[in-house]
Structure 1
Amino acid sequence: MIPTLLIEAVATEVEAAVKDYKLSAENQDDKKVTVYRQHIPNDAFEDDSYYPLAIVSYQDSTDDENGSTATIGITFGVYGEDKNAWRDLLSIMERTRQRLLIYRKLDDRFRLILPSKFETIENQPYPFWFGYATLAYTIAQPTEELAGDWQAIMEEDNA
């Protein structure tokens, strides 16, 4: 299905953006950024060192006469008792922002629509630091002419 394919495409780009970046985490040094799809799995909560992280999640789809779009949210999180840990957060966010702007078309099917938005909140829950991105991508819009191919389309999306 389109939402899952888009989540995977964006998550793959986030992973590429931060692949060589390592940060300290709770009780761990030099931990790579973990990129989760849609949510943090329950088993990850058993290990308190899932930071630094990025969660790529589907927010919504919109259809109108001009086409269809899907909105993807990314939550970025780092852990740091150092008062300058916010810099680590911004570094992960900026690496991701630049990568997604350079590679605007993903999987030859999803194109980033500008403006994109990357932001933080003023009152961070120290020692955790969070930032967010909101991204819109063009997605395919089904038409009435595809009604006869509905079953084949659904089988193809599940492959």
Structure 2
Amino acid sequence: MIIPERLINCLKKEIEIAVKDYRLKAENQEDKPVTVYAQHIPDENFDNDSYYPLVIVSLQKVEDAELSEGNGSTATIGLTIGVHGEDELAWMDLLSIMERIRQRVLIFRKLDKRFRLLLLTKWETIEAQPYPFWFGYGTLVYQIAQPNEQMDWDNVKIKMEDTSNE
């Protein structure tokens, strides 16, 4: 797996652990677990509303900088958290899911022994929610590996191929 894929999948697993015991009454379904998606919702036509509650873990950008000037290479991950609820207090479910995730990523800041969460994290909602849907957003920045400019491309290619079976 390449770095962004691996990071997204590792973070997805951590979020699944954070919300595993959380259940909601959502979209006429009782006891619905939170579904965590990697990068996007598979069926983006929204033909049905069975997606909620949900978390989407997606890569926003990768930045490379000189190691001497900061953190080297970083990957910014965006989290979209959504719930469905006609109850006027459904926004509390949104905040509860966000807080479970926030606490989990702050406690377990290093993923897969290679991706380290950098602070400042960002958690936000929007004022004008599209009722009966409620959305929140998280932005997380992880330090990732940076190739050395002296590396031989053939060796890098071999290393990338070796890890693709993980």
Q: The residue matched to 1:117 in structure 2 has which SS?
A: strand
Q: The residue matched to 1:116 in structure 2 has which SS?
A: strand
Identity of aligned residues (%): 63
Residue in 1 that maps onto 2:22: 21
Tell me the CA shift for residue 68 of structure 1.
0.5
Tell me the CA shift for residue 156 of structure 1.
2.2
Q: The residue matched to 1:35 in structure 2 has which SS?
A: strand
Residue in 2 that maps onto 1:150: 156
Distance 2:74 2:117 in 1: 9
Residues 27, 49 of structure 1: 8 Å contact kept: no
For normalisation by structure 2, the TM-score amounts to 0.92
Gaps of 5+ in 1: none
Q: Which amino acid aligns with 2:82?
A: G
For normalisation by structure 1, the TM-score amounts to 0.95
Distance 2:108 2:123 in 1: 16
Number of equivalenced pairs: 159
Distance 1:18 1:77 in 2: 13
* 1:71 aligns to 2:72 (yes or no): no
Q: 1:107-157: per-residue Cα shift (whole Å, max 9, x none)?
A: 000000000001000000000000000000000000123224122022124
Residue in 2 that maps onto 1:128: 133
RMSD of aligned residue pairs (Cα, Å): 1.4
Judged with a 3 Å threshold, the aligned counterparts in structure 2 of structure 1 residues 128 and 31 are, in CA distance, closer, same or farther, namely same
